[in-house]
A = this chain, B = another copy of it.
Amino acid sequence: MNAILKGRLVGVGTGPGDPELLTLKAARALAEADVVAYFAKRGNNSNARAIVEARFRPDMIELPLLYPVTTEIDKDHDDYRAQISDFYEQSAEQVAEHLGAGRMVAVLSEGDPLFYGSYMHLHVRLAHRFPTEVIPGITAMSGCWSTTGLPIVQGDDVLTVLPGTMSEFELTRRLADTDAAVIMKVGRNLPKIRRALEAAGKLTKAVYVERGTMPGSVSMRLAEKPDDKAPYFAIVLVAGWSARPGAKA
């Protein structure tokens, strides 16, 4: 039963967008994998797939895991939760079939697989059943502070990563209570994020970044951004370190 022993699950972080920000280890995993799987919305391209597409081989089995259409159901509704949970179960079984047949399955994850990544829904269902390895990737936030050249934390700084979906009260409270902050899931939350930063006394330090390491990347001081239009995956950064060019710290 050598075939069963060979079956191996690998969570592959593709990094934030620039195909060169893939790790050497991820590149090797893609060169070796029998199956490459990824989550995607029906009719949408997978970002993770696009980042590594140039490495796909003709002999590789491609396994897209397509989210069910759920736009008409509220995300906090039990029906949505049940449907999405069923979907992850079915996806895990699709991957398990390949693993059981002795194949190496690389599951792509934009950024880092275990940092807000969808890969973890497969990981928790399969890692106790099959040999599993997770290859970390450069996170979107790291891509953003590197692109803008913003030293995000230094020394004993506290860093807080916050979803922009939080209430204005909670955002304000947490922004006031940290040295550095990363705010994710910006999109239509931007006006609220702006008010929370202002109330926390940190608006002047905030930097807005769109499409991080991808072509067409945009970054500016949030205070200078003239409108509140922002894609969901835009990020707002607040550096903890006060030293800037010319500072003597």
Chain A positions near chain B (C-beta within 8 angstroms): 11, 13, 15, 18-25, 27-28, 85, 89, 112-116, 120-121, 123-125, 127-128, 132, 134-139, 142-143, 145-147, 149-163, 165-166, 174, 177-178, 185, 241, 243-249
Contacts and interface: CB of A to CB of B under 8 A. Distances in A.
Assembly stoichiometry (copies)? 2
B138 A137 contact: yes
Contacts of A23: 15, 20-24, 138
Nearest to A116: B153
B163 A160 contact: no
23 contacts: A13-B146, A19-B24, A21-B25, A21-B136, A22-B24, A85-B248, A113-B146, A114-B142, A114-B151, A115-B145, A115-B152, A116-B153, A116-B154, A116-B155, A124-B243, A136-B145, A137-B142, A139-B142, A158-B163, A158-B174, A160-B161, A160-B178, A161-B161
Given A22-B24, A120-B154, A134-B149, A142 B115 contact: yes
A151 B145 CA distance: 23
B161 A159 contact: yes
A36 B245 CA distance: 22
Contacts of A246: 124, 128
A46 B155 CA distance: 19
A245 B125 contact: yes
Nearest to A113: B146
Contact of A245 (B19, B127, B159, B247): B127
Given A15-B23, A18-B25, A149 B161 contact: no
Given A21-B136, A136-B142, A151 B163 contact: no
Contacts of A134: 146-147, 149
A86 to B, nearest CB: 10
Nearest to A170: B158
B146 A136 contact: yes
Contacts of A142: 112, 114-115, 136-137, 139
